[in-house]
């Protein structure tokens, strides 16, 4: 690997890896995607092996370094950066494959160069697919299941996995650019987006993170230990419900969102392909792609 933007401490050896990315910032409403990637890191015991050159991609006035004290005396600067972590070559929970996790803030500069470097790194590591996880603020109630959409800019994936071809037009984040670059590079990619209540933008959403991981688990047929996250999600629901009940205006608004959500479900507007369908189609797609190569 010779990309000038990627600094490696070592080159991991992985079997049939998938690269999974989650960025803080614009793509990370209620910290759902970063919480999901952090859970994967702990569950799969992923170890850092490299990072992207922070000087090239960050405006330190917008994304500031942090000063920390070591032993209460030594001052250390922690620079914002996007880190690369890898699992063991083969992980049982990953059904005989490895994984690379990409995490950190959304870059401020050189998005095309950054995404080119991610795609090149994924290919150098032999990644079969890139998966991103994001979250957005939406008119949804906290008291209902979290809606997660799965889409791709790759027309072959859209057809073979029955995914949604995104119809969104407007401002985009780093994940939108990354998926476009992956499609141009012939690298299969899928994005998951969780919808979180817009009236809770600053409250980390464990339910949304859990929903992202559940969809990832089904799509890739992998196991993730989410026991701690499930407890946090239960606590989140309880505490938010209590807070909402104490505000009559907010309570009425949430009730309206619940009624609209329920009517959409009853009307079939939220029906998506089942997880088993997606997993089966993905397995067939990757098998055919490997045979062609």
146's CB contacts (< 8 A; 6+ apart) are 140, 194, 195, 196, 205, 207, 208, 210, 211
Per-residue model confidence as pLDDT tens digits over 96-135? 889 999 999 999 999 999 999 999 999 999 999 999 999 9
φ, ψ (nearest 5 deg) of residue 82: -100, 120
145: burial class by Cβ within 10 Å (0-12, 13-18, 19+)? exposed
Mean pLDDT over each residue of the chain, to the nearest integer = 86
In percent, the amount of the chain with pLDDT more than 90 equals 63
Query: What does the pLDDT read at residue 275?
Result: 45
pLDDT of residue 291: 59
DSSP letter for each residue of 133-150: EEEEEES--TTSPPPEEE
Q: Which residue(s) pair with 8 in the sheet?
A: 50
User: Residue 75: its pLDDT value, please?
Assistant: 81
Residues 54-80: pLDDT tens digits? 999 999 999 999 998 877 777 888 889
Residues 6+ apart with CB under 8 A from 245: 251
What end-to-end distance do the CA atoms of the chain give, in Å?
A: 21
- For 142, residues 6+ apart whose C-beta sits below 8 A from its C-beta are 197, 200, 207, 236, 237, 240, 241, 244, 254
Residue 285, pLDDT score: 47
Q: What are phi and psi of 247, to 5 degrees?
A: -120, 110
The pLDDT of residue 274 is 43
Domains and CATH numbers, the chain: 6-292 (3.40.50.10900)
pLDDT at 83 over 60: yes
Write the pLDDT tens digit of every residue in 169-205. Answer: 788 899 999 999 998 999 999 999 999 999 999 889 9
Q: Residue 193: in which H helix or E strand, if any?
A: strand 189-197
Provide the β-strand partners of residue 136: 195
């Amino acid at each position: 690997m010779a990309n000038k933007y990627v600094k490696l401490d070592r080159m991991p050896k992985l079997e049939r890896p998938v690269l999974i990315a989650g960025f803080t910032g614009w793509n990370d409403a209620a910290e759902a995607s970063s919480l999901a990637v952090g859970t994967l890191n702990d569950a799969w015991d992923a170890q850092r092996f490299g990072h992207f050159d922070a000087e090239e991609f960050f405006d330190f006035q917008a994304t500031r370094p942090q000063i920390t004290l070591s032993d209460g005396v030594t001052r250390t600067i922690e620079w914002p950066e996007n880190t690369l972590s890898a699992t063991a070559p083969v992980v049982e929970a990953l059904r005989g494959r490895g994984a690379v996790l990409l995490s950190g803030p959304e870059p401020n500069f050189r998005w095309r160069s950054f995404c080119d470097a991610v795609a090149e790194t994924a290919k150098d590591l032999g990644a079969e697919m890139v998966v991103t996880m994001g979250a957005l603020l939406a008119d949804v109630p906290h008291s209902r299941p979290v809606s997660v959409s799965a889409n791709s800019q790759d027309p072959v994936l859209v057809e073979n996995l029955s995914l949604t071809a995104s119809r969104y037009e407007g401002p985009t984040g780093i994940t939108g650019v990354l998926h476009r670059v992956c499609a141009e590079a012939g690298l299969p990619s899928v994005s998951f987006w969780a919808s979180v209540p817009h009236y809770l933008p600053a409250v980390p959403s464990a339910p949304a993170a859990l929903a992202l991981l559940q969809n990832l688990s089904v799509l890739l047929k992998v196991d993730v230990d989410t026991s701690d996250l499930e407890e946090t999600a239960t606590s989140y629901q309880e505490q938010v419900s209590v807070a909402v009940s104490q505000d009559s205006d907010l309570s009425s608004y949430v009730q309206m969102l619940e009624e609209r959500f329920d009517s959409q479900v009853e009307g079939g507007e939220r029906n998506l392909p089942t997880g088993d369908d997606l997993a089966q189609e993905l397995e067939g797609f990757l098998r055919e792609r490997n045979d062609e190569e």
